[in-house]
Amino acid sequence: MRISARDMPRSHEGILRISRRKDRILCATVSFLHAAVGFGHSLRTFLLHGSQGGEVMIARQSVLAAVLICAAFTPSALSAQLAPTSPYAHVLDLYRAGQDQAARRALAELPSAEIEWSQRILLKAFDSTVGDESSRAAASMRVAALIHTERAIAAHDRDNFPEWRYQLRMARTYVEKLASRDRSTPFPRTLCLMTLAYLQGRYALRAAKEFGDWAHDSVGDSPELFLAMGVTQEMGWTAQHEEGVDSPFKGDLKDAERAYRNALSAEPDLVEARLRLGRVLALHGDTEGAVRVLAEIGEGSEAAYRYLARMFEGDLCERRGDAAEAEHRYLAATALLPRAQSAYMALAHVRHSTGARAAAAADVRATTLDTSVPDTGDPWVGYAHGLSWRANGYLADLREMIRQ
């Protein structure tokens, strides 16, 4: 017969709970024996003498025995809280204090039975109505969700997919529980966005699609979640049709367009959704719609968004054979970010196609003049990697939330 963790907890927390239960049962048993002896004496007195006092004594002894038995076998409401001395609580304390590596090492040493037992305790405490037990459990659950997500990401980087799925399942259980009470709280949504940003940065698009669908159903809609879901679809389609990568996830431009429009409907000032909508319309062949949307990204927007908008307009012009206008758009992009390389490469391409080879060569040389600028400093590189550029910002926000 297989003994489960529920039947035989191996953790220090579980042992303490069993010890406390045994102590209570022993005390109650001794008290019950005293009560039983008293009850028997009172019954004998009543039968021999018919004393009314005997009736009262029997009733009192019976009630006392019943109360003691109930107390022995009824768990205390406070026993639902995770003990501060438990190994899992120690992991959470380390992580909350900023000792990330020590926390991750300590978590890696815990058996799954210990982790799952501790999770059940926290989930039970979250539903408690006793004092501040629920709020304290929620605070611990936020820490736990974040550290399990970080461990899941580390496992994914090592291609350890069983560990990735296990750690992600633990994190998702906490997130679902937290969101079940209030979907407007920022922690569950931000954790989902960070995970999606990571997956997109690793081009794990099928996993990103599945996780995005789960987040939509379990945590609720938000403009940034719609944006992230659209990015996953766009990246999948681009990899298949623009880059020639045979991926198990193909992506769908119509789904991407729908997600971006939903994001803009909820938050009209979300410029990245507008930029990506223009790009998707262009890829889908809606040239007029793309030009109209991209033209809305003007002076009030960040330079990186304007840079990409001008780049996409230049690409549209090239596709319809207007090389002169394409050159004009690419030049506008170089003026916005003179140290970015992609606009110079696009400009060299269009000039070379029109026979201006000397100018094209000069454009290529311009990309090598400033070696201090990394490739990742070009907005086009960030765009191609989805929302991965946002991941560190999401993580910083989450760390701040768990320390409040």
Whole-number pLDDT of residue 194: 98
Whole-number pLDDT of residue 362: 86
Task: Please list, residue by residue across 135-149, b when 16 or more beta carbons sit within 10 angstroms of its beta carbon and e when fewer do.
Answer: ebbbbbbbbbbbbbb
Examine the domain organization and report whether 232 and 143 are in the same domain.
no
Contact 364, 345 (CB under 8 A): yes
Indicate whether 343 belongs to any domain.
Answer: yes
pLDDT at 354 over 80: yes
Examine the domain organization and report whether 241 and 337 are in the same domain.
yes
Examine the domain organization and report whether 228 and 252 are in the same domain.
yes
CA dihedral sign, ordered 194, 259, 285, 320: negative
Closest residue by Cα to residue 269 from 227, 307, 236: 227
Indicate whether 394 belongs to any domain.
Answer: no
pLDDT digit string (tens) for 117-166?
A: 999 999 999 999 988 999 999 999 999 999 999 999 999 999 999 999 99
pLDDT digit string (tens) for 26-41?
A: 444 434 444 444 545 5
pLDDT at 16 over 70: no
Instruction: Supply φ then ψ for residue 287, to 5 degrees.
Output: -65, -45
Examine the domain organization and report whether 292 and 343 are in the same domain.
yes
Residue type, 50: G
Whole-number pLDDT of residue 360: 85
Whole-number pLDDT of residue 66: 47
Indicate whether 284 belongs to any domain.
Answer: yes
Whole-number pLDDT of residue 79: 39
Indicate whether 364 belongs to any domain.
Answer: yes
Alpha-carbon distance of 52 to 48, in angstroms, equals 12
Whole-number pLDDT of residue 364: 86
Q: How many domains does the chain have?
A: 3
pTM over 0.75: yes
Examine the domain organization and report whether 238 and 382 are in the same domain.
yes
Task: Please list, residue by residue across 36-54, b when 16 or more beta carbons sit within 10 angstroms of its beta carbon and e when fewer do.
Answer: eebbeebeeebeeeeeeeb
Whole-number pLDDT of residue 35: 45
Lowest mean pLDDT across 54-63, 110-119, 139-148, 361-370: 54-63
Examine the domain organization and report whether 59 and 114 are in the same domain.
no
Indicate whether 50 belongs to any domain.
Answer: yes
pLDDT digit string (tens) for 178-188?
A: 999 998 899 99
Q: Report the percentage of the chain scoring pLDDT > 70.
A: 78
pLDDT digit string (tens) for 243-265?
A: 777 778 889 999 999 999 999 99
pLDDT at 48 over 70: no
Whole-number pLDDT of residue 165: 97
Examine the domain organization and report whether 70 and 96 are in the same domain.
no
Whole-number pLDDT of residue 245: 77
pLDDT digit string (tens) for 62-76?
A: 544 444 444 444 433
Query: Mean of the pLDDT values across residues 355-375?
Result: 77
pLDDT at 1 over 60: no
Helix runs in 242-341, H state only: 253-266, 271-283, 287-295, 303-319, 323-336
Indicate whether 5 belongs to any domain.
Answer: no
Q: Is 217 exposed, middle or buried (0-12, 13-18, 19+ CB in 10 A)?
A: exposed
CATH number (domain holding residue 271): 1.25.40.10
Name the residue with higher pLDDT: 364 or 134.
134
Indicate whether 7 belongs to any domain.
Answer: no
Closest residue by Cα to residue 242 from 361, 388, 383: 383
Q: Which of 26, 50, 74 is the last residue of a domain?
A: 74
Q: Report the percentage of the chain scoring pLDDT > 90.
A: 66
Whole-number pLDDT of residue 121: 96
pLDDT digit string (tens) for 292-309?
A: 999 999 989 999 999 999
Q: What is the mean pLDDT of the chain?
A: 83
Whole-number pLDDT of residue 269: 96
Q: Which of 39, 58, 74 is the last residue of a domain?
A: 74
Indicate whether 106 belongs to any domain.
Answer: yes
Q: Which of 74, 107, 128 is the last residue of a domain?
A: 74
